[in-house]
Amino acid sequence: MLLGDLAHRGGALWPSRLAFIWGGQSRTYGELARRVEGLSAVFAAAGLRAGSRIALLTVNTPEALETAFAASLLGACVVPLNPRLAPAEIRFQAEDAGAAHAVVHPALEALARDSGLLGLAHWMIGEELETRLDTAGDAETPRPGDESPIMQLYTSGTTGRPKGCLLTNRGWVAATAAAVHALGVTADDRLFAALPLFHVAGYGAALAHLAMGGTVVIPSGAGLEESWSLIGEHGVTVAIFPAGTRRALRHPAARPVRMVFGMAGTERAETLGGLAELGTDFRGVYGSTEAGNFVTVSTLADELARPGTQTAVAGGARPGRGRAPARQPLTQYDLGSPSSCWAMCARTSSSATGMLLPMRASRNSLATGYSRE
């Protein structure tokens, strides 16, 4: 299954259901599916093929996800770029990835020009892209395999130059299914999508809801006044507050939602207790660029009972991809069989949701934070 198949699935099962709400506009799943088909034809006509890289510089818009869906159908790979970076940093990532095409939001045109993206074959989101979609034909290209890369996400570069992490269609689809289960997403959910769509967690949260026929509500900013207004207006059920859950709950317009999620192991007991009093559930998550999507998810009960233990990636980090020391005592688990690290995941307070690879683990490998494939 390809990432873009999520759009076709939504168009077939729920054509009239809303996929996106943003900026006073809305888009149904039927419209989403047709746009993804059109975009793949536009990209193919411009020369995108299997293995091509397409740079993506945008604010949060549906086109960020549509571009990824369309690219996946061609075997092409999206390179989401952080608009908070300096032009030289963006240029480095685009050149390092070998991007020859770009999709740019007009609000970021000056940054795109300074970083060299407008020197590539590019499309500007808005009227220009819509005109191309209106005249798009069919993309007559072979269907790629599900092991083809769909996203090249760059690390933050805090310990050196940013490194591009290749994430496959198969990996994203599997991680999305796992996130749906871990977060308990249903077709009735409406996500307040405040996380940036140049970050693995931003894509992970949105894809989990689109996979189930939910609605992704995209705010224009992260201000609490707008946040609570949109949450009330559109019946949002799942939310995250980048400015902080504690601050959000203190706002006079705060109201119950089904679930709030945030970074695992970081919320105060007072904040978690406040959510419980509102009748709002909580999930603590940890997203990994290298692994793709959320790699741990903890419940409200986990966070209250064992604060600070949910940030470790159960089973350790992938070889060569850094360390994630396990903080929970390992002596209580039987780690004798190759699959036992995943049995451990199921029994600890956090569930691994992104690292969906068969691992061979020993007591020593897990104690040092490394796993062996």
Q: Are strands 215-218 and 238-239 parallel, antiparallel or unpaired?
A: unpaired
Asked if the structure places residue 292 within a domain, the reply is yes
Tell me if the pTM is above 0.85: no
- Assess whether 37 and 159 both reside in one domain: yes
Task: State residue 156's pLDDT score.
Answer: 83
Does 65 lie in the same domain as 31? yes
- Considering the domain architecture, whether residues 38 and 143 belong to the same structural domain is answered as yes
Report yes or no on 71 lying in a domain: yes
The reply to whether 18 and 154 lie within a common domain is yes
Is position 372 within any domain? no
Q: Containing H/E element for 63?
A: helix 62-74
pLDDT in 10s for each residue of the chain, 373 residues: 999 999 999 999 999 999 999 999 999 999 999 999 999 999 999 999 999 999 999 999 999 999 999 999 999 999 999 999 999 999 999 999 999 999 999 999 999 999 999 999 999 999 999 999 998 888 788 899 999 999 999 998 777 788 999 999 999 999 999 999 989 999 999 999 999 999 999 999 999 999 999 999 999 876 899 999 999 999 999 999 988 899 999 999 998 999 999 888 888 889 999 998 889 999 998 888 888 888 888 889 888 887 655 433 332 223 333 333 333 332 232 333 333 333 333 333 333 333 333 333 333 333 333 333 3
The count of structural domains within the chain is 2
* 211 and 325 belong to one structural domain: yes
Cβ atoms 263, 242 nearer than 8 A: no
160 and 181 in one domain? no
Same domain flag for 145 and 184: no
Examine the domain organization and report whether 182 and 143 are in the same domain: no
* Boundary residue ending a domain (130, 153, 170): 170
Let me know whether 322 and 236 are in one domain: yes
Q: How far is CA 327 from the centre of its chain?
A: 26
Among the candidates 170, 190, 219, a domain finishes at: 170
**∠64-67-73 over CA atoms, to 5°?**
145
Tell me the β-bridge partners of 53.
77
Using CA atoms, how far residue 258 sits from 73, 90, 233, 349, 356, in Å, is: 34, 38, 15, 21, 27
What is the token pair recorded at 363?
């007591």
Has residue 373 been placed in a domain?
no
Would you call 271 helix, strand, or coil by DSSP?
A: helix
Coil, strand, or helix at residue 16?
coil
Q: Is residue 35 part of a domain?
A: yes
95: domain CATH number? Answer: 3.40.50.12780
Which residues, listed in sequence order, are joined to residue 192 by a DSSP beta bridge?
217, 239
Residue 164 belongs to some domain of the structure:
yes
Same domain, 185 and 74: no
228 within some domain:
yes
d(CA 298, CA 348): 9
Q: Does 89 map to a domain?
A: yes
Domain boundary among 152, 170, 188: 170
Separation of alpha carbons 291 and 165, rounded Å: 8
Q: Which domain holds residue 93?
A: 5-170
SS3 139: coil
Locate the DSSP E strands across 235-293.
238-239, 259-263, 281-287
SS3 (DSSP) at 101: strand
Residue 307's pLDDT is 67
Note whether 57 and 72 are same-domain residues: yes
CA atoms of 90 and 77, how far apart (whole Å): 17
Same-domain pairing of 11 and 133: yes
